């Protein structure tokens, strides 16, 4: 994987003052995003995989609370914990805290207050985005088909759905429901009888479904650009490098 790992954070440009103090056994954890915690507990505000920064500015983070935060870090499966140290809020990291981090295999990094947080979060965020872009480009290069490359270029399934929806009149659910009917019709060059036979349904049932789809989406069966739109939308609905799923509901009232 090309993601940013905890052990690599001190190697980023401008972050040489940060050091990995303990929990090296878990330093291969991937950093999903940086998060600066100012409350006594950060669990309710994270999703997992964050690199959590403890500044002490909220004055909740005394040395005793640092042990609680380390246990919380392990429980919430964050990527690692960064504690800012200096003369103002948190002085130095207790040896017992470092031993606990090793025991929990939770990466524990130390950052001096003199290093601006904006510099740190910007460097980390930029590195994460750059590596995600590199991973996507590599996946595109390894794609086995033009369709798979196009799907990867457009983005995650949610992004593909957002791209498709406006061009079918916000009737994405209907397109999913009637996907197999439309695919059969397209595969048989618009021959309703042949498509219905392939689907095992009555010709009039298939006509009803397609009429409904074209009426609600505002697309025209005789317009080549609209047919291209539907064909491309169906293709983008598929998962990359996976068998085509039958997206039509089994209990179609029109059948």
Is 28 found in the same domain as 110?
A: yes
Q: Which domain holds residue 211?
A: 156-237
Which tens digits make up the pLDDT trace of 55-103? 876 555 566 788 999 999 999 999 999 999 987 778 889 999 999 999 9
The total domain count for the chain is 2
Which tens digits make up the pLDDT trace of 110-139? 999 999 999 999 999 999 999 988 988 888
- Work out whether strand 19-22 and strand 108-112 pair parallel, antiparallel, or are unpaired: antiparallel
pTM to 2 decimal places? 0.67
Asked if the structure places residue 32 within a domain, the reply is: yes
Asked if the structure places residue 188 within a domain, the reply is: yes
Q: How far apart are CA 101 and CA 11, in angstroms?
A: 21
Whether 248 shows a pLDDT value over 90: the answer reads: no
Domain boundary among 133, 166, 189: 133
Q: Token pair for residue 7?
A: 């052990």
pLDDT class for 237, splitting at 50, 70, 90? Answer: confident
Q: What is the mean pLDDT of residues 180-190?
A: 94
Is 111 found in the same domain as 19?
A: yes
User: Roughly how many angstroms between the first and final C-alpha of the chain, as a whole number?
Assistant: 47
Is 122 found in the same domain as 38?
A: yes
């Amino acid at each position: 994987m090309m993601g940013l790992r905890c052990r690599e954070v001190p190697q980023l440009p401008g972050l040489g003052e940060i050091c990995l103090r303990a929990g090296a056994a878990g330093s291969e954890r991937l950093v999903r995003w940086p998060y600066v915690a100012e409350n006594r507990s950060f669990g309710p505000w994270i999703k997992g995989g964050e690199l959590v920064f403890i500044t002490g500015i909220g004055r909740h983070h005394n040395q005793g609370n640092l042990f609680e935060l380390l246990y919380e870090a392990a429980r919430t499966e964050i990527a690692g914990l960064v504690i800012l140290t200096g003369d103002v809020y948190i002085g130095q990291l207790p040896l017992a805290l470092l031993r606990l981090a090793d025991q929990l295999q939770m990466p524990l990094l130390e950052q001096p207050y003199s290093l601006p947080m904006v510099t740190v979060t910007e460097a980390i965020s930029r590195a994460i985005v750059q590596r995600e872009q590199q991973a996507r480009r590599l996946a595109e290069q390894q794609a086995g088909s033009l369709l798979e490359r196009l799907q990867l270029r457009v983005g995650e399934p949610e992004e593909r759905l957002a791209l498709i929806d406006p061009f079918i009149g916000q009737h994405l659910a209907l397109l999913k429901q009637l996907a197999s009917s439309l695919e059969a019709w397209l595969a048989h060059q618009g021959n309703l009888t042949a498509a219905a036979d392939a689907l095992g349904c009555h010709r009039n049932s298939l006509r009803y479904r397609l009429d409904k789809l074209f009426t609600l989406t505002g697309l025209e069966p005789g317009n080549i650009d609209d047919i291209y739109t539907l064909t491309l939308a169906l293709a983008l609905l598929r998962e990359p490098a996976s068998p085509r799923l039958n997206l039509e509901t089994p209990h179609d009232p029109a059948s």
